[in-house]
């Protein structure tokens, strides 16, 4: 990326932009599970939420490249508020299906992505704190976004025609949070933890795609 005259266009920023289509697809999947019998006003809110987030991410990307710290902070706060509103909207108006559990978990990942993003921007103004915590916070932000939020949507898309799945949704979600929300960010500087995280992530995928010995959602609820 050195042939472009922008010092902030690093590989990390490139992957932020590259992952945007995956996030867009996940957001579209989530909105497809909103009830159809909502009022015109709620439909308007639905459209406003969708475009606020997606256009906001594009604008945020440009603010990063052109080094506009105040504007970058402002759009980050707007995006965070929009994500919280979307989470509430989906929680109240989402269709009560198994996919909703995974998407709500994904939305919580996205809420924490917004929090870490805002704090990372603030931290840049404090060199000593940034030196100690900047990389860890950026790692948390990346993992929560890519392997938390985006992966939640991708898993649903991959098994779109298989739902409802005969597995314990909450076990999968708990493992997902343990691996991505806690283990992965700290594993970058610890080889043992990195190996444990990799194994745990493989187990997460195994449990999601292999459901023969797991209880169904209906059976789990009945118990």
- Overall average pLDDT of the 61-74 stretch: 83
Is the preceding omega at residue 90 within 30 degrees of 0, hence cis? no
Of residues 133 and 3, more confidently modeled: 133
Quote the pLDDT of residue 128.
87
Closest of 215, 213, 179, 214 to residue 197, by C-alpha: 179
Quote the pLDDT of residue 66.
79
Residue ranges per domain, the chain?
1-163, 164-223
Of residues 17 and 41, more confidently modeled: 41
Can you tell me which residue has the tokens 């990063």?
Answer: 64
Quote the pLDDT of residue 11.
56
Burial status of residue 220 (CB atoms within 10 A of its CB: 0-12, 13-18, 19 or more) = middle
pLDDT at 175 exceeding the cut of 60: yes
Reported as half-sphere exposure (CB side, CA atoms, 13 A), residue 136 has a value of 12
CB 165 within 8 Å of CB 98? yes
Quote the pLDDT of residue 15.
59
Percent of the chain clearing pLDDT 70 (strictly above): 86
Query: What is the spatial distance between Cα 197 and Cα 217, in angstroms, rounded to a whole number?
Result: 26
pLDDT at 4 exceeding the cut of 80: no
Lowest average pLDDT, out of 16-25, 29-38, 68-77, 101-110, goes to 16-25
Looking at the DSSP bridge assignments, the partners of residue 34 are: 94
Query: What is the spatial distance between Cα 196 and Cα 190, in angstroms, rounded to a whole number?
Result: 10
- Overall average pLDDT of the 189-200 stretch: 93
Quote the pLDDT of residue 219.
45
Quote the pLDDT of residue 202.
94
Is the preceding omega at residue 164 within 30 degrees of 0, hence cis? yes
pLDDT band at 106 (very low <50, low <70, confident <90, very high): very high
Percent helix, strand and coil across the chain, each to the nearest 5 = 80, 0, 20
- Overall average pLDDT of the 24-39 stretch: 88
Quote the pLDDT of residue 92.
93
pLDDT band at 107 (very low <50, low <70, confident <90, very high): very high
pLDDT at 78 exceeding the cut of 70: yes
pLDDT band at 89 (very low <50, low <70, confident <90, very high): very high
């Amino acid at each position: 990326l050195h042939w472009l005259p922008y010092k902030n266009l690093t590989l990390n920023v490139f992957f932020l932009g590259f992952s945007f289509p995956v996030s867009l697809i996940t957001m579209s999947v989530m909105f497809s599970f909103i009830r159809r019998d909502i009022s015109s006003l709620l439909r308007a809110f639905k459209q406003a939420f969708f475009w606020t987030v997606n256009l906001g991410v594009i604008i945020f990307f440009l603010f990063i490249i052109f080094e506009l710290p105040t504007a970058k902070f402002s759009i980050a706060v707007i995006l965070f508020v929009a994500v919280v509103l979307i989470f509430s909207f989906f929680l109240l108006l989402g269709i009560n299906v198994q996919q909703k559990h995974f998407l709500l978990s994904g939305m919580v990942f996205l809420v924490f992505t917004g929090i870490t993003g805002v704090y990372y921007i603030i931290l840049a103004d404090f060199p000593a704190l940034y030196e100690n915590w900047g990389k860890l916070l950026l790692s948390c932000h990346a993992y929560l976004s890519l392997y938390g939020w985006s992966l939640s949507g991708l898993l649903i898309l991959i098994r779109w025609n298989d739902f409802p799945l005969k597995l314990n949704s909450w076990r999968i979600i708990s493992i997902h949070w343990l691996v991505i929300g806690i283990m992965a960010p700290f594993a970058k500087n610890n080889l043992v933890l990195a190996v444990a995280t990799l194994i745990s992530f493989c187990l997460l995928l195994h449990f999601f795609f292999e459901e023969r010995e797991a209880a169904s959602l209906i059976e789990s609820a009945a118990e």
